Structure 1
Amino acid sequence: MTNALFQPITLGKLSLKNRIVMPPMTRSRATQPGNEANDIMATYYGQRASAGLIVAEGTQISPMGQGYAWTPGIYSPSQIAGWQKTTRTVHAQGGVIFAQLWHVGRVTHPDNIGGVQPISSSALTAQGVKVFIDNGSQAPGFVDVVEPRAMTKADINQVIAQFRQAALNAIEAGFDGIELHAANGYLINQFIDSQANNRTDEYGGSIENRLRFLDEVVSAMVDAIGAERVGVRLAPFTSLNGTVDDTPVATYTAAGALLNQHHISYLHIAEVDWEDAPETPMSFKKALREVFEGVLIYAGKYDGDKAAQAINDGLADMIGFGRPFVANPDLPQRIEQGLSWAKHDPDTLFGGDEKGLTDYPLYGK
């Protein structure tokens, strides 16, 4: 049943060895000061290079784009050099790796962005949302987010330019492509979802207007590095970080059609993966397949059989396995051979050192 995961697939101009994706997962191990990718991160991704595609952890495009302590950036020369360690290591192992580019918008705290007020589509606080700051200890200190200010047109143009430059920086750093983080309640999602956007200009109101920022960011990045090296992540049915859309099927089917016009390499759908969460409607998956012609990736609570079934049913082309990749660096081998999966230690997900990052063994070791 899992053989579908091990059929080769073409992604843009890349030939991938399997259809298993290691999706982006924040691990907060960047070197301080400077938020630079480092040697232990290179080891971590290199250990997992048997994935058909790795999408590296969310990487801020500017100092204002940072949501959590100790996450890596890709806007300074030293950050680019730091990421080159990872891309060289992954490529030496025969892997393919994209950078996930993000701006968190309102999902941050002034302590993480130099003391200034966060920006968003609108001056709406993400209710009940906490982020972690560096409180002087090894453990992250969680604090409530604050009210952002609504972005001006100048702010919007500046962030579009920052995304474009970050895409160029990612290619300079050796990445095979980039994934735009437009999911999980971060900045672009704050424009897309109706309950996070109360703008009255051309970036608010109708679905077309709420997708305009996404459209302009993708256009800028496609122009910079080519459509075949651009993917986008969306989260249609999650309410993460306080973003909710009143008509998600209509909104995200329209988003899929819009992204198809840009001929991007892939569309990555983050499904809800917590207990008792609603399933992504089959009607939506079929509608998305009809409007988007590129590679479709889904991630969320998949095992090998369920993943293979989604591919065999024609709904997905690749499947992401998030937390399983944390504790199973050889996850593709374990799936292919029907071996058991190790459990990750939740206490070592964010911050710290090699423990809980690079010390998970291969099967039987």
Structure 2
Amino acid sequence: MTTVFDPIDLAGARLSNRIALAPMTRSRAGEGGTVTDLTVTYYTQRASAGLIITEGVQPSAVGQGYPSTPGLHTAEQVASWRKVTDSVHAAGGRIFAQIMHAGRIGHPVLLPDGLIPVAPSPVAAPGQLYTHEGPKDFVEPHELTGDEIRATVADFATAARNAIDAGFDGVELHGANGYLIHQFLAPNTNLRTDEWGGSEQARIRFAVEVVKAVAAEIGPERTGLRISPGNPYNGIEEPAPDSLYTALVAEIEPLGLAYLHVKEVTEIRALTLALRKQFSGPFVVNVLTEGPTGPEDHKVIDDGVADLISYGALFLANPDLPARLKAGGPFNTPDTSTFFGGDAKGYTDYPALDG
């Protein structure tokens, strides 16, 4: 029986185990969306993961959704990430950059040159966003034109090339959690009636075009996609996700992608299993609730539901998580007050077992 501690081949590399660091926004980027020496330490500490997937990295200035998040659209940003990838590789790790365009999730105070957030349709997200100027109501986004949509697809491909130039082993496209790709997929955020919206086939088109463009730019074996069917986060409404996501996977399945990463949002696993059966490549699952000790989560590997399992908060608080899972603990408790922004506290100061 395959276990979570067995190696696996991915993107032409042998991963040491099937435990992945899930992508998590930490809002600790430096000037100009560059990453810092603290970021180098943070990811290197977690290099015992079979695969590291970074925090969301914006592919363009207008793609930024939160304060102090990093990018991959300037030479300075690319150079700063090279320090991360070199250090992770020196420690024996493998690392993918998650490319995340936030779409309507953002605010003009975060963006340069008078830009406003963009989206498939001019539908504001509910609620507020934390900024350095305090909480701000989400604004009505600019509805992307056809030409702007095609330019945005190109931005993803350029950012993917920049990621490879920065030394990453591949990229994960963020199609989950209510950000731009997800906004095109969902019927309440995509009200278009052109070729980019309306029918399910039209609503999946943007996701498919982004995946194809990135796969053509850097190779499908270095391209992953993350989805979260039915996830209501950031004001998304997907009352009947099954047919849309099976249609999406049917379109990308022939490409031979590095992996498909599914974030589960309900305890009903039927759609996950259906997508697993449909997708022939490596299949990554981020389980709904991370258990305190891990073995229950590992059943997704033991039972063949997934090839890899990704951990978020548990890995955030336990830099040596694979060793702790193998030993059965003990586990550090995540400090939620330090998840976003700040310095080394709650970022690089969680102790390892041998520390």
Which band: TM-score by shorter chain? over 0.9
Kept in 1: contact 2:318–2:351 (CA 8 A): yes
Residue in structure 1 matched with residue 218 of structure 2 by the alignment: 225
Q: Which deviations, in whole Å up to 9, do the C-alpha atoms of 1:241-293 show, x marking residues without a partner?
A: 01112321111122222221221110111122xxxxx32x3321221122111
Q: Distance in 2 between matches of 1:331 and 1:297?
A: 17
Which residue, 35, 38, 48 being the options, matches 2:36?
Answer: 38
Kept in 2: contact 1:60–1:103 (CA 8 A): yes
The Cα RMSD (Å) is: 1.3
Which residue, 264, 278, 291 being the options, matches 2:278?
Answer: 291
* Aligned positions of 1:327-346 closer than 5 A: 327-346=317-336
Q: Distance in 1 between matches of 2:178 and 2:61?
A: 18
* Aligned positions of 1:45-194 closer than 5 A: 45-114=43-112, 115-128=114-127, 130-135=128-133, 141-194=134-187
Q: Distance in 2 between matches of 1:252 and 1:264?
A: 16
Q: Distance in 1 between matches of 2:274 and 2:154?
A: 32
Kept in 2: contact 1:194–1:246 (CA 8 A): no
Kept in 2: contact 1:193–1:246 (CA 8 A): no
Amino acid across the alignment from 2:233? L
Kept in 2: contact 1:119–1:149 (CA 8 A): yes
The structure 1 segments of at least 4 consecutive aligned residues displaced by more than 4 Å after TM superposition are none
Q: Which deviations, in whole Å up to 9, do the C-alpha atoms of 1:135-182 show, x marking residues without a partner?
A: 3xxxxx332211112110111011011101000000000000000001
Amino acid across the alignment from 1:310? V
The aligned length equals 351
Kept in 1: contact 2:40–2:87 (CA 8 A): yes
Q: Distance in 2 between matches of 1:183 and 1:117?
A: 21
Amino acid across the alignment from 2:353? Y
Q: Which consecutive unaligned segments of at least 5 residues does structure 2 have?
A: none
Bigger shift: 297-306 or 317-326?
297-306
Q: Distance in 1 between matches of 2:115 and 2:224?
A: 30
- Check if 1:261 corresponds to 2:254: yes
**SS state at 1:306 partner:** coil
Kept in 1: contact 2:11–2:169 (CA 8 A): no
- Check if 1:320 corresponds to 2:349: no
- Check if 1:18 corresponds to 2:6: no
Amino acid across the alignment from 2:52? I
Q: Distance in 1 between matches of 2:46 and 2:136?
A: 32
- TM-score, normalised via structure 1 length: 0.94
Q: Distance in 2 between matches of 1:282 and 1:268?
A: 14
Q: Distance in 1 between matches of 2:239 and 2:194?
A: 19
Kept in 2: contact 1:59–1:100 (CA 8 A): yes
Which residue, 290, 302, 305 being the options, matches 2:290?
Answer: 302
- TM-score, normalised via structure 2 length: 0.96
* Aligned positions of 1:230-241 closer than 5 A: 230-241=223-234
1:237 to partner: Cα distance: 2.0
Identity, % of aligned pairs? 46
1:35 to partner: Cα distance: 1.1
Kept in 1: contact 2:227–2:261 (CA 8 A): yes
1:364 to partner: Cα distance: 5.3
Q: Distance in 2 between matches of 1:317 and 1:104?
A: 28
